Structure 1
Amino acid sequence: MHRRRRTPLRRASHGRTPRRGAAPTPGRRAAITLRPGADAHWLEHFYLAPHLQGSGIGTAVLRELLNRCDRDGALVRLNVLRGSPARRLYERHGFTLETEDQVDVFMVRAPGTITVEARTVSM
């Protein structure tokens, strides 16, 4: 039996219907969930099958999702495991460190944030 570690993000999303996407299930190649919250949207369950990682698909999906959030004027938050290579992807898309603990790094992205030559610029 696989036991999932409950994070503040998972506790906060319990029992809510996601805005877009769904958590990964066996046989799925990709999944993403964007859940509206009181002060921001939470990017949850962003998953790509290992053979798709590094192909540009994650970048394209994240760019489209963030464009939609920008049009809505929505702040976006997420958490990623410390040491995860996914953190670089999020940083390239304008996410910055908000806080961290022994396991997770919590990041935030303001609407209209773009990345220029590895620098984050807010418009």
Structure 2
Amino acid sequence: MKSLKILAICLCLGISMSYAQQRGGNVDPATRAKTTVEHLTKELGLNKTQQDSIYNYILKQTEHQKAQFEKNKDKREDVRAELQNERTKKQEKIKSFLTAEQKAKYEALEAKQEGRGFQGRKN
């Protein structure tokens, strides 16, 4: 009976860990860029030129971020601070591709996301 309880606990832990890894841990840069552009296209009505420009920019930034994390695994907090600064630059660069109406919608999206804090995206 005791071994059955231990087996059940191990099974639950295994399922929990598997689910946590599937929720978006290590998404490759191309997938992250594609998902971001799809979201922005849905929310802002991006045209094809804007989609391509933003995709290429986000892909480059995401690859850079991934490289920074891998290179400085032992200095996570330093990298996070640097990447937070880059996030601000990324937001400004994205705005440079948008029309005035889209910029207003994008700023509203940013405010909404900042209000969510560190919860991340809901799947």
Q: Same fold (TM over 0.5)?
A: no
Tell which has more relative contact order, 1 or 2 (C-alpha 8 A, sep 6+).
2
Largest Rg, 1 or 2: 2
Structure whose residues are more often helix by fraction? 2
Structure whose residues are more often strand by fraction? 1
